Structure 1
Amino acid sequence: MVRSDDRRALLERDLPGAARRGEIIALFQPQFSLETGEVVGAEALSRWIHPRFGLIAPGEFIPMAERLGLVGEIGDVMLRLGAHAARDWQDQGRPIEVAVNVSILQLRTAAIVDTIAGLLDEFSLAPRLLTLEVTETTPVTQVPEAIGVVHRLSGLGVNISVDDFGAAYASREQVIALQAIELKVDQSLVQETQGARGEDLARAVEFGKAQGMRLVAEGIETEAQLARVRALHCDRGQGYLLSRPTTKADVDSLLVSAGGFRAEE
């Protein structure tokens, strides 16, 4: 059995080049319309297939990537995998939006604009089918160059989403600065249906609606949580109750079968 310190050291040794070796893959977590119950999108979630330790979740290797300066390399792979999946669903006649996380570190330079413009052209992908979820460990308002880059990305026609609203640095100030069209309400608000956090959920939804934004409730795990976000008129939902992250092939099957959840009141 490998000690945790030894495992960490081994992973940090092996992470450089993992993207180049094809060890970074994407799983997809479907997003559902809370009105119709249909699949309307999917979030591309990174996983690392380590040759020794197997499947590794992003919570373990993304912080390493940030420390080692590998976020851009991994991010480029995820953008390509997300765009490729979106193009495939577009070509199947089942166009759904694919969301890919981008960090503030990726948004510090305009290179990402050229990367995404190139992918849209390469895959002949309708820009509206690609959503960029802005995630960060630093307030975006402290990185003014990132705001300009996001506005240039919006000019390409892709969707800009603010991830994890209600947690960390995802503030109202950030939402307004980014001119995002979508707000993803953090699971910490969605999963607490009573008390102060329950009220925070209602206020977050009210704020997003006032800004004319699309509201996505993430982390839905119980029927009570689903009922609450539907009662608050969130537009979309994702979470383990509806679907766990899965392979693209499984999402293909879900789309072919017109799968979803019962949306009746």
Structure 2
Amino acid sequence: MPTTDDLADELAIAVGGADIFAVYQPQVSLESGSIVAAEALCRWRHPRLGDIDPLTMIGVAERSGVIHALGRRMLDECLDALAGWRETGRDWAVAVNVSPLQFEDDSFAHDVATEFEQRAFPPGSLVLELTQDVESVGEPVVLPQLHMLREVGVEISLAGYGVNASSLDGLEGVPLAEVKLPGDLVRSTGGPALVSLRDKVEIAHAHGLRVVAEGVETLTHLDIAVQLGCDRAQGFLIRHPDSDIGFP
């Protein structure tokens, strides 16, 4: 197995080629049952090692600084996919994970906002999903850039909602549009836990936030998402992540 440094060097090279690619997992509206969005997930198919675990890849990217080039590559792919969907009459949104480290690049938010406006995408069609600790979302280096993005119609999503007491404490100034319930919560919820999590969904709705249930793998999980009052769901029951962005 290559060392972390070796993987970082190889990842820096791979970012510019076909070994790095996006797969897309659709989200459905629980009201209509229709696909309304798709989350882009980054994959690395190493020529010798095969598919690299995504958590390993992101860890290497963040520690080495390659996260900036990797993040921009993924955003470019997402915006191209979004344009392609719209050309074929699919008015879906695309969501992509971003690391708070990407906001250390002063030009990151400005570049995303500029391209989003230049390509005339409608508000809400690009969602940036923050996946790290919620404390980082309110950091001074991140918050102004989130507001810049929100002003041009890019939505901000927060993963991991419902894990701690309220999950919105300290985030009053963050321009969120969406929160996501992690799959392990959705899959294990029942009885009193269902009531507690439903209360958190109601809190999110009271703040005007959309709620997405992740990790929906069975009809039982889907029923739980409905009982919780979620707006959208994604998971293997609906579709596995797929590089075919048409989702026929």
Report the TM-score when normalising by structure 1: 0.85
Aligned-CA RMSD value: 2.3
Distance (Å, rounded) in 2 between the aligned partners of 1:6 and 1:70: 17
Tell whether the 8 Å contact from 2:113 to 2:154 is kept in structure 1 after alignment.
Answer: no
The CA deviation at 1:144 is 1.6
Counterpart mapping for 1:1-265 below 5 A:
5-6=1-2, 10-121=6-117, 123-137=119-133, 139-140=135-136, 143-167=139-163, 171-173=167-169, 175-194=171-190, 197-249=193-245, 251=247, 253=248
The CA deviation at 1:52 is 1.2
Distance (Å, rounded) in 2 between the aligned partners of 1:36 and 1:138: 31
Which SS does the other structure have where 2:179 is aligned?
strand
Percent sequence identity over aligned pairs: 35
The CA deviation at 1:142 is 5.9
Paired residues, number: 248
The CA deviation at 1:222 is 1.8
Give structure 1 stretches of 5+ with no counterpart: 254-265
Distance (Å, rounded) in 1 between the aligned partners of 2:104 and 2:221: 36
List per-residue Cα deviations over 1:132-183 (Å, max 9, x = no partner): 1122247225622201110111011111111221348993135433120111
Tell whether the 8 Å contact from 2:8 to 2:66 is kept in structure 1 after alignment.
Answer: no
Distance (Å, rounded) in 1 between the aligned partners of 2:166 and 2:112: 23
Letter aligned with residue 90 of structure 1: R
Tell whether the 8 Å contact from 1:85 to 1:248 is kept in structure 2 after alignment.
Answer: no
Deviates further, 153-162 or 54-63: 54-63
List per-residue Cα deviations over 1:169-228 (Å, max 9, x = no partner): 993135433120111112221111225654442232122111111111111112111101
Deviates further, 191-200 or 62-71: 191-200
Tell whether the 8 Å contact from 1:42 to 1:97 is kept in structure 2 after alignment.
Answer: yes
Distance (Å, rounded) in 2 between the aligned partners of 1:76 and 1:187: 27
Distance (Å, rounded) in 2 between the aligned partners of 1:196 and 1:112: 43
CA 1:141–1:8 in structure 2 vs 1: closer, same or farther (change >3 Å)? closer
The CA deviation at 1:60 is 1.7
Distance (Å, rounded) in 1 between the aligned partners of 2:165 and 2:22: 25
Which SS does the other structure have where 1:191 is aligned?
helix
Give structure 2 stretches of 5+ with no counterpart: none
CA 1:7–1:191 in structure 2 vs 1: closer, same or farther (change >3 Å)? farther
The CA deviation at 1:26 is 0.3
Deviates further, 58-67 or 161-170: 161-170
Deviates further, 241-250 or 57-66: 241-250
Letter aligned with residue 241 of structure 1: L
The CA deviation at 1:10 is 4.3
Report the TM-score when normalising by structure 2: 0.90
Deviates further, 72-81 or 189-198: 189-198
Which SS does the other structure have where 1:144 is aligned?
coil
